[in-house]
A and B are shown apart, each in its own frame.
Chain A
């Protein structure tokens, strides 16, 4: 079984899609609330069409762009990386872990964006109505097509950010791990966005965001641990002068001096890993845990907890001084 589902990619897609959905839903509800009269119907329809056009175009560009980058990347990878596979996997996992760690916190603050976007849209529409005084040109175009440009730019920005994020976090994964995870992430993100638009409450959104952030951090912990594991395994392969994975999951496939636990099964590495591979990408499971991989996992979890505590106390202080 090849790896066909990358959990981190799924969560990143979910996050980016959610962000976009929130903006779109804000725009749509804004229009629905402001253009209520019968006379506004044509313009309402036109603007709604503009919004969806912007979204679709933005998504299309991102998908093409992302697929091109990932495709190129994997085309190159097969040549360059195979020789030092373990080193690369270690480096990629480390980078992915760092990226998720830094960006994950932002996910918790998405709900704040709704307010931010209401202000932005209102400003844009205000400018539209007061637009007679300004000279025609770019600015006019911008104002006229605000309902197109806003979602388009947003989707493009979020999407490209997502593409880079996915590449960073998914480095070292086989290309086959992407499509399903991307599709699921986008699908679930859109679904949640729709439910929110239909009147989900802020509390359940928050709960959902917190849960998905927790998953992302668990993934990051696993990635860090995996990165350490890959570096150690590289050293082990050098020591035994071959690819340890060739010996299967049994004795000799790991350095017994570093072993904390080892079970002769359930390898996330062999044959794509199956469910153990999924378990590995979400929780950092290893059938052969080393001191390095276990200690790094624990330190990461504790470190992240401490960092959030520090953030909280800083925000509290800031709130007091306001």
Chain B
């Protein structure tokens, strides 16, 4: 009897868990469509199911998400990355091509299938070389029935901000990474967009409080964002709830998300502008006629005018370093493993400008790094097998890892870590130089956490996280130009645990994708399965520029000297000859 009851209970609980676990399925047919979001130029963009802007993915925490992707682009391969999702146990669903999967070739289909176990504001985008700014970028919202702030607001509204180019990324990339662009000047966007359009009217009701889920889906430009006449209250960054904090203006780098509460006024006497303003400090030169701003309005009353935004005197954004996570997770004060990344920009011997971590620029390996982990057995813990151009770090399981990032470049860079949110324990001001572990301001007791963080020009950052998520995770600058120029590190987290998780469990369509693209699925970075320490045949890459004289230069200099001596010798001999003849 007791056994029967327990069996019944088991079945009942099984039923309950099935009922809770909703599966949401999206069928995405990725193809080219035409659009003109800034009213300046009609161009082809990457849409989904014949539409652009692409749909928002909307799920509830705990849902199983299935995204069936069909690549109908014809001329480009693709992949989807669900930005900010930890993918615990499903690193093979993370999306970066040549890292955790093979790119989805034109005509192929591919299924992403994973459980979403975290609430908040995310986005999804292509993670194939420089592709998403051509349109394949959309919001990804995870509702939370247990949102600690749910009593503070009435409705939520998604606002995506982005920059927009009139030219296609492959063309822009070709001119960006080129001998003709030795200074590495990034292409400057042609426009700024909000919800992939401009002059957006957002209808609001007096007295209500709205949660704006703000996402910067741009390729390059961070944006200053403010609402005229309204104060924001920050309650979430990158999926991490924060203690509410007031802000008049926020600075949202590409790939960051901020949820802010805005309480509407009690009257409908006027409408108010809100503005996204691209940070022009990022641009090498600001072209004439560029409008760096995109404007929308909080519309209380349709019949009233929408006022032009007011000029502001200066940009004084809120500092996200000061945020406190709502869960009060304490500082990880004991560091087990430190990764130091010194980043810079420099030229290689093809004349083009590249980005470097520790003097090494990233180039994708021949075998996606995840598949190297899964096919090399105990050797997977040896960093060498992942190649010479992947900036790889192998982490042990469940350790506290610290990333020290030194920005040896006068630009601002938003860094993103896949698979984790990290604690921001230190961020220097501009021009502070390299991080000095023996001389820094006190770390906060409950550091702010997020997955995309700004490092200041010539400054530094210290991030900490726990390596509790076996997988292959990229750490990279989210400026799409710098992704292309190699500002990427590969973190191989708990490879042996990962093998236990995923060996033999890579779905058929993932293997199919590699076969379709003729990409190797086994062996080290060079695809060598016999001797995994032998990297012969791995991806080749331009070499550093030799400094000073090479053999060629010395030969040329010697020849020039000899030629000069010979020429002058003849002149001297000729010049002296008549005298000799006379005296002789």
Contact = CB atoms under 8 A, between A and B. Distances in A.
Given A251-B347, A256-B349, A298-B559, A263 B547 contact: yes
B563 interface: yes
Contacts of B576: 206-207, 210
A247 interface: yes
A142 interface: no
A263 B549 contact: yes
Contacts of B583: 203
Given A206-B579, A312-B574, A221 B564 contact: yes
A252 B353 contact: yes
Interface string A216-245: 011001000000000000000001110010
B570 to A, nearest CB: 4
A206 B579 CA distance: 8
B552 A260 contact: yes
Q: Say whether chain B's binding surface is mostly helix, strand, loop, or mixed.
A: helix
A302 B579 contact: no
A262 B557 CA distance: 11
Contact of A261 (B183, B347, B549, B570): B549
B575 A209 contact: yes
Nearest to B546: A262
A305 B182 contact: no
B550 A261 contact: yes
A308 B179 contact: no
Nearest to B566: A305
A310 to B, nearest CB: 10
A183 interface: no
Contacts of B547: 263-264
A136 interface: no
Contacts of A262: 545, 553
A239 to B, nearest CB: 5
A203 B579 CA distance: 7
A301 B564 contact: yes
B506 interface: no
Contacts of B553: 260-262, 289
A86 interface: no
A304 B567 contact: yes
Given A297-B563, A302-B567, A252 B183 contact: yes
A252 B349 CA distance: 10
A141 interface: no
A255 B351 contact: yes
B174 interface: no
B14 interface: no
Contacts of B349: 256
A214 B568 contact: yes
Given A260-B556, A261-B549, A206 B567 contact: no
Contacts of A214: 568, 571-572
Interface residues of B, number: 38
Contacts of B569: 305
Contacts of B340: none
Contacts of A217: 567-568, 571
Nearest to A216: B571
Interface string B537-548: 000000001011
A108 interface: yes
A21 interface: no
A210 B571 contact: yes
B289 to A, nearest CB: 18
Interface residues of A, number: 45
Nearest to A210: B575
A255 B563 CA distance: 25
Interface in A196-214: 202-203, 206-207, 209-211, 213-214
Interface in A293-322: 294, 297-298, 300-302, 304-306, 308-309, 311-312
B181 interface: yes
Nearest to B549: A261
A209 B570 CA distance: 14
Contact of A256 (B350, B549, B552): B350
A-side interface mostly: helix
Contact of B571 (A111, A213, A240, A300): A213
A305 B570 CA distance: 5
B144 interface: no
A301 B566 contact: yes
B398 interface: no
Contact of B179 (A203, A255, A304): A255
Contacts of B568: 214, 217-218, 301
B5 interface: no
Interface string B297-337: 00000000000000000000000000000000000000000
Contacts of B577: 312
B108 to A, nearest CB: 38
B560 interface: yes
Nearest to B577: A312
A304 B571 contact: yes
B180 interface: yes
A252 B354 CA distance: 12
A123 to B, nearest CB: 24
A239 B180 contact: yes
Nearest to B547: A264
Contact of A311 (B353, B559, B574): B574
Given A221-B567, A302-B567, A305-B567, A240 B574 contact: no
A256 B353 CA distance: 12
B63 interface: no
B560 to A, nearest CB: 5
Nearest to A290: B556
B564 A252 contact: no
A203 B559 CA distance: 32
Contacts of A260: 552-553, 556
Contacts of B574: 108, 308-309, 311-312
A294 B560 contact: yes
Interface string A161-201: 00000000000000000000000000000000000000000
Contact of A108 (B180, B351, B575): B575
Residue of B553, B571, B579 with most partner-chain A CB within 10 A: B571
A308 B563 contact: no
B228 interface: no
A308 B560 contact: no
A50 B457 CA distance: 74
Nearest to A291: B556
B342 interface: no
Nearest to B574: A308
A289 B556 contact: yes
B346 interface: yes
Contacts of A213: 571, 575
A312 B570 CA distance: 10
A30 B548 CA distance: 59
B346 A251 contact: yes
Given A202-B579, A289-B553, A251 B182 contact: yes
Interface of A: 108, 111, 202-203, 206-207, 209-211, 213-214, 217-218, 221, 239-241, 244, 247, 251-253, 255-257, 260-264, 283, 289, 294, 297-298, 300-302, 304-306, 308-309, 311-312
10 A-B pairs with least C-beta separation: A261-B553, A252-B182, A251-B347, A301-B567, A210-B575, A305-B570, A301-B563, A305-B567, A256-B351, A298-B563
Given A202-B579, A206-B576, A218-B564, 7 more contacts: A108-B574, A213-B571, A214-B568, A257-B351, A261-B552, A302-B567, A305-B571
26 contacts: A108-B571, A206-B579, A209-B575, A213-B571, A217-B567, A240-B183, A244-B182, A251-B346, A252-B351, A252-B353, A255-B351, A256-B349, A261-B548, A261-B554, A261-B556, A261-B557, A263-B548, A283-B564, A297-B564, A298-B563, A301-B564, A302-B566, A306-B570, A308-B570, A308-B574, A311-B574
